[in-house]
Structure 1
């Protein structure tokens, strides 16, 4: 089977140069341009032998991480169709494991993989000039190429499971959000560096961190700054390959034993988010919530007010004499707090439409999780773009991880507590179609108490990370990464517990929630 699949793969690659004359000419020109670009890139990579060891190590890790990430996200972004989709072999009844192994080997026979292999060999030459061990260089190239292939295989397999129309407004919105979250912070970071003939310390630190991640570990082995760092990179790279390999074999089994969804003939079927998100209870709630958040002016006003209020909050600090480099760090945590607080009364905005959830017998977990999806898709990009800009004005990228920890704690903890508050203490809001600034009369103070408790709880949960962040701002950079993990850990914990409690309350208080919706 392996030999047959490899011959099939080679035939498909050569077959791309056959057919209509115009297509052949266009593809041939593309191959020529690709070969020329590969040769130039390989010469540049080999030319790193004349650069410093630190420069070579930083360039290797950053470039390798970018290439590996491209293999992981490229297939879904470009809507690529896998020519060796395991489902195409289902008609001959193959065993999943042998087929998965054969397709994995065939994955090495592709133009992008060959280009990466050529660049890896050129980098190995440069590594040797800096005294890198030959075994370490070979291991780095082999693990790097293998990681790229596995990421591409797994990404395409996942795409085959959730195949959607190639283009849709909603899908392009998701891709745009992903690009903003990744590209803007990286661009701001690189643009803020001071290049004075040496590698900036921030860039070296970023490369050192990437060398301990799944996308950069393989490329950080050869020129690791120490033996311990090299061993760590090897462990992470091997673990990444093992996890991806297990995922690939499992996905092949699933693909061979499941029925593919029919691909719609029309490019857009008119269902919007319902056609894009999974056909599960949680997916249905998320799709309906996204439609509300992106169309209902009551939601839009809340989203617009959050950044404005956060920026305005710095004015009193500047008037009071607080330095700009400190005051500029305040708006982003405030935005994180308010974004986490926004869904604290989301059930009330449904009005009488809430009966659909209760009458259908929906469980609490899909309802709670689905309603958080819009806030995550809106809040994360805004925070991801705003925080690097604030750090640029502040001037010290060393505090960036700590600020991420504080914002994560405020945001995630707020979402968790809001999941409880919206079920336990909903209060009347403006009805659908009314002005977002028109608020109905309230007979009690439950709404005010609920709002205050959610905010106070989120702030309390973020205090450990905030204390560590303040120490990092005052010069203790060791606390910066610790503050990141503390903030993310506490925020994620509160989120999970809050969603679980909110799910239980939703199932138990269905009758009272329906009475509330009818009464308001």
Structure 2
């Protein structure tokens, strides 16, 4: 059964790559990125061989406990259940969970995250290979720790499969992921400023963190080599029993959950629900094709977890930058007022990816003869409706908090140039590049949903064009902030004119391009891995 499930996953992966060159390119790029992380981690582990056993134990316990926690959090909030070998797909077959579990564990390690985890876990053996006894303890820890990572994540995702597939959780996950990302960045910044270069404080903090991690379920296995190195045989025995018991308990729990799912497979709640009465939303837009597209897109922005995730992730960078600059007493409030402009930089990428999120439903635009210009204008109108109030509110709040009202006109002009110009670039790039996004009902971060090279090319073009269009306004803002106050006021009309001009050119040219590429666009967004 193990060989069968691993072979099944490899076959599905191979077939998916054959269907799209971009998936192959994306896999190669992901492999290169994962290899870089693994090489850096292993290099750090090798370097630890020249430190004391105490420092090695503290660093490895904290790092590997964080790795185990990462498997759990990312599985719940990002990846979800592995689509290729989802246990629910075996519900109609005469197979028991106890026969599936070993194969599913091994299959979970067949992929970039699994292979990277195995290699990093083997790095623990490298750093502890100072005596045969330490090497053996590290090998046992690596095996138990890797099994804990897989079983913990799979047990959680299987147990909460129905909840994870609900729209409420997908919306919540997007917000939680953004909050966690912002919190980690802010906490890292605060700690680095508070600790500074005080080696004593850093050593004490590392010691306390390692102690806490070693007695948490995430660090039971990884603490074993450090216990052996210190000669703490009683602690080593306790950690070994706890780690082995955790693996057995997780395996038994996962088996019980799978037994239930094999007879009662959970169904996604993503496609259920009713559409409420319309009226107010339609009155916001003109009664034409572009207005209809805008209304439909706005409903997606409110109900589709993929758009909720996009908005939540976009808000992280301005928040982190605002806190970082606000904590620095040497930064002028005239520069802090510009932090909402970071959101304006990435607004255009949402327009660039919007068409790809339609998936096979794009056939409705093609079959009804919708013009490319109406499609581009409608999506831009929806994005403006979402982001314009958010940007304006952020600018007003930051200006009120910092007292930088004098710099507000220039900041608004810069945001206008970046957001409007970026939307124009996104309208053109979205007509040229499309990719199969995660379908409604799936996690917005589902594995294989990154879009590969087309998504990367679209984002890069939009960001570069956005930056170039914002340069004149940025120059005026900086000139007004430090030398000529009147230049900041001039940035507002200049930003509006440049942004609107770029927006018009982008939507018109993107519409013409889309009129010629409707069949290709429909095929691109409809591709799904088998």
Normalised to the residue count of structure 2, the TM-score between the two structures is 0.46
Which one has more relative contact order, counting CA pairs under 8 Å at least 6 apart? Answer: 2
Provide the TM-score with structure 1 as the length reference: 0.47
